[in-house]
Chains A and B, each alone.
Chain A
Amino acid sequence: MTAAFGAFWDEYRENWVAVIALAVVVVIVAAALLAPWITPQDPYDLANLDLMDARRPPGFVGSGGYEHWLGTDAQGRDLFSAIVYGLRISLQMGIAAGAVAMSIGALLGILAAHSGGKVETAIMRVVDLQLSFPAILLALVLVAVLGQGKVPLIIALVAAQYAYFARTAYGAATAERQKDYVEAARATPLPGRRVVFRHILPNCLPPLIVVGTVQVANAIALEATLSFLGLGLPPTEPSLGMLIANGFQYMMSGRTWISVYPGIALIVLIVAINVVGDQLRDQFNPRLRR
């Protein structure tokens, strides 16, 4: 296993863009985890905010006595702190939604492939119908019906994304089902559960990991979009999308930093995750192997 991982890493290392992207992801995750210790201000603590400090450009030294590297927003929040905390929320939502969607999707996909017949038809019909329907619209409606907050948002993101995982798991599991060894395992009276866990699931994992990586990035983008539209998290916990939305109104007057810096943080994170996901896909895809 270690040797296999070593070989995998050796191949990964050949693409230096992917290596940089991975480093970026690691740094952002570390920053998000360590947010309370590396930021000068807790942006959620209203007592820390002073409207005197609002909308100041980068480099301004405010009433806190420290320099605001990236300036401040309309509430007088230190933008750097707000961005790090925003990344923290974005990652939380993205990973939570991705993990739940992956579990539900993989379960449904493998169930469909494993049971066949009417169950298979029913599940895959629904999945395909949903895949043809834009995720953002579904999320929008769910958030509108369920209200604002972390849990409704995660439900909306999961509902918008589980179908991708279900398709992927189904595809991998049906391919596995055709293979002789599953037939062989079935012929010897093993319980169905063992076939799924010992044979089918391990072979579904690589494609699921690839889709998972990309879907975490998509969930982050979707969350930011919903928050930008004012339908995401409540204003007391500003995510990156909301920071950008709040800064949008000041952009015309030249105070561009309020929107631009959170935006850069957001796209750096999303693009980096996507690049890592692309590289993983290339490495897992046997057709591209030379």
Chain B
Amino acid sequence: MLGYIIQRLLQAAIVMLAMSALVFVGVYAIGNPIDVLISPDATQDIREQAIRHYGLDLPLWQQYLAFLGRLLRGDLGTSFVLNIPVTELVFSRLPATIELAFAAVLAGAFIGIPLGIYAGYRPRSPLSRGIMALSVLGFSVPTFWIGLILILTFAVNLGWLPAGNRGPTVEVLGIEWSFLTWEGLQFLILPALNLSLFKLAMMIRLSRAGTREVMLSDTVKFARAAGLSEITILRRHVLRLISIPLVTVFGLELGSTLAFAVVTETIFSWPGVGKLIIDSITSLDRPVMVGYLVLVAFLFVTINLIVDLTYALLDPRLRRGGRAA
């Protein structure tokens, strides 16, 4: 197990290194790096000072090492527009996005898995066909359009829920959370639902496919032969058997949800990192773009790592190193 963890940590570090190189090449080496680092309105003096400060007169590989060094110290530069250190800016926005992404993924899983198991258990029933139609819609209809319809329905026409912005927050452990009060939760519902529909569709498909396969297995037949009730078989045997691929996807989806939050946050004016990157792209605030990309890459690698480790925990065959015959 320990060897496995070390191996995975090394892989994660290599991926992170590759990503940082890509971001570096993408934003620093293409175009004039000084434009990336300081505002175009800066005076000539400041420009030259900055060129020396960031070592832009050095060869590229030295610059990359310097970039890496700053990265490791958490120095990502300062936003042109807001004049705040990028690290600080991104971390101040991150809780809102994480809250939204978690709410979306959890909703997707808690609604999607039971629906998917049912659809896999009774594949021919009309309800199952309805569930599958829902998942086709969730997969193919763009997120922004669903968000629009949600706002139109629940905020404009029915007036039940707010159309945008984040509600009041409560500080816990030094971080502002909005899901702890009913009022804050109301603001969270629509964006979370919007963001979750794609996950929901995916969870439905995966758990349906898994359930269909497992229901035909000898494990289920044997459990039936022992007289277990269908509900016990589904809850204890099937759920555990399909959970391994589900956890993998659940984790990976958490990462892509952070990315897709870009769209949802824009529609619902949710003040998270997704809204931040769109704002920074439109205002050409490049340090913020770099900061966001590095952060997302880092989150991705971390989540992948956690997923792999959870995988090992869930599958006893992997836990003790070698695979079963």
Contacts and interface: CB of A to CB of B under 8 A. Distances in A.
Direct A–B touching, Cβ under 8 Å: yes
A263 B145 contact: yes
B137 A251 contact: no
Contacts of A145: 26-27, 30-31
Contacts of A129: 15, 18
B256 interface: yes
A144 B256 contact: no
Contacts of A225: 142-144, 263
B144 A251 contact: no
B36 to A, nearest CB: 10
B139 to A, nearest CB: 7
Interface string A225-259: 10011110000000001001000100110101001
Interface string A155-179: 0000000000000000000000000
B289 A229 contact: no
A271 interface: yes
A253 to B, nearest CB: 9
Contacts of A20: none
A280 interface: no
B29 to A, nearest CB: 11
A141 to B, nearest CB: 7
Interface in A105-122: none
Contact of B263 (A136, A259, A271): A136
Interface in B145-161: 145, 148-149, 151-152, 156
Contacts of A275: 136
A236 B111 CA distance: 42
A200 interface: no
Given A144-B289, A252-B163, A274-B139, A229 B263 contact: yes
A267 B266 CA distance: 20
A224 to B, nearest CB: 6
Contact of B145 (A134, A229, A267): A267
B200 to A, nearest CB: 16
A266 interface: yes
Contacts of A259: 148
Nearest to A131: B252
B312 interface: no
B282 interface: yes
B149 to A, nearest CB: 8
Contacts of A254: 156
B281 A144 contact: yes
Contact of B259 (A136, A251, A266): A136
B136 A271 contact: yes
A97 interface: no
The 6 closest A-B pairs by CB, nearest first: A134-B259, A134-B256, A137-B259, A274-B140, A144-B281, A221-B142
Given A244-B144, A271-B141, 19 more contacts: A134-B259, A140-B281, A145-B31, A224-B142, A224-B144, A225-B142, A228-B142, A229-B266, A229-B278, A244-B148, A251-B151, A254-B156, A263-B149, A267-B142, A270-B141, A270-B142, A274-B139, A274-B140, A275-B136
Interface of A: 129, 132-134, 136-137, 140-141, 144-145, 217, 221, 224-225, 228-231, 241, 244, 248, 251-252, 254, 256, 259-260, 263, 266-267, 270-271, 274-275, 278
16 contacts: A132-B252, A132-B300, A144-B281, A145-B27, A145-B30, A224-B145, A225-B263, A229-B278, A230-B282, A231-B281, A252-B163, A259-B148, A263-B149, A267-B141, A270-B142, A274-B136
